[in-house]
Amino acid sequence: MKKLGIEEFLLLAREFPVLDVRSPGEYGHAHIPGAWSLPLFTDEERKVVGTSYKQESREQAIKLGLDYFGVKMRKMVEEVEALLKTNPSVKKGEQPTVLVHCWRGGMRSAGVAWLLDLYGFKVYTLVGGYKAYRTWAMKQFSVNYLFKVLGGYTGSGKTPTLAELKKKGEKIIDLEELAQHKGSAFGSFGRVQPSQEMFENLLAWELYLTNTALPPEVPIWIEDESQRIGLVNLPNSICASMKLATLYFVDIPFNARLVHITEEYGKLKKEELVNSIIRIQKRLGGQNTKLAINYMLEDNITECFAILLRYYDKHYEKSIQTRMEMKLPIAKLAVEKVDAAVVCQKLFE
């Protein structure tokens, strides 16, 4: 077994499986992106062991832990074997490698690492555990990133444009994908957003991967977002960097965007759409809310979304005006239709 610092650990994590041996509750709240949950204790067992440690002694807590651990040893080994069978890092004839961590790099990871090493795996553990990853993740937000910000009114197809830019070899980060939210009142349909901590973990990892895939001087394309995306918030430093970066504002006519957004959201359940309209009624206004809901109930989806699109356009215009007043860089590109390939061509021009 070998102990690694966070940088070495994450370098190997790009190739070999990471096993998070914390409890299911700890893992579910937030974890290292891509890590597999292999809990040494259940949430209740962890609570019992922790209470024993505080109220009785370290030795008694260890004995309790061994009671729980002993009956799980075979199952844990078999779980890791099953995982490695589907992992491309395992090459025939080579000793399989795994990375193990717990909360602080203490007894839980040491116990599981001992078991897996005894069985025949090549095992690395993380000095400082998950806590070390959190420290590393927060440091990623203090790096000076070179951003290019893709902007445009709602319905401009910014997400497909980012995907198209990636196909063409550009560095991109899809914030809405990481946040599992499209940024509007209708953005969370069919999705469960990560916790704030998990969102930060994902963003830090994506920034790291993206900035090491190509030289740091190659800019990263990122979508223009407010600081809050659904229930999660962008780190202040990332927001500040985005504001100072050039905004490439893709200006697509209202009717073209209306057709696009109607096709995208019109397939959703009527009840969910109505509930989303109600959530923004204070900002939308009583009359507009009533009209939008009536149009929705009458299956006049186009008129309903026309009201909503005007509302979002008005708010986005304010942010553009603020940017201009602050003399922040902005490049406006006129495009006639919602088409990622066409938008990309304009951006490259």
Mode of pairing for the β-strands spanning 228-229 and 232-233? antiparallel
- CA-to-CA dists, residue 6 to 34, 126, 183, 225, angstroms: 15, 7, 33, 30
- Cα separation, 76 vs 83, whole angstroms: 11
Q: Which amino acid is at 81?
A: E
Query: Residue 29 in contact with residue 227, Cβ under 8 Å?
Result: no
DSSP for residue 298: T
CA distance 203 to 153: 24
User: What phi, psi does 152 have (nearest 5°)?
Assistant: 155, 155
User: Catalytic annotation on 344?
Assistant: no
Neighbours of 59 (CB within 10 A): 10
3-state SS class at 223: strand
One-letter amino acid identity for 63? K
CA-wise closest residue to 69 among 123, 25, 107, 120 = 107
* Phi, psi values for residue 198, rounded to 5°: -70, -40
How far apart, in whole angstroms, are the C-alpha atoms of residue 108 and residue 241?
39
The kind and range of the H/E element at 330 are: strand 330-334
Cα→Cα distances 203→14, 100, 138, 262, Å: 16, 22, 10, 30
The DSSP secondary structure of 227-277, one letter per residue, reads SEETTEE--HHHHHHHHHSEEEEEE--HHHHHHHHHHHHTTS-HHHHHHHH
Q: Around Cβ 197, how many Cβ atoms within 10 Å? A: 14
Just list the catalytic residues.
Answer: 102
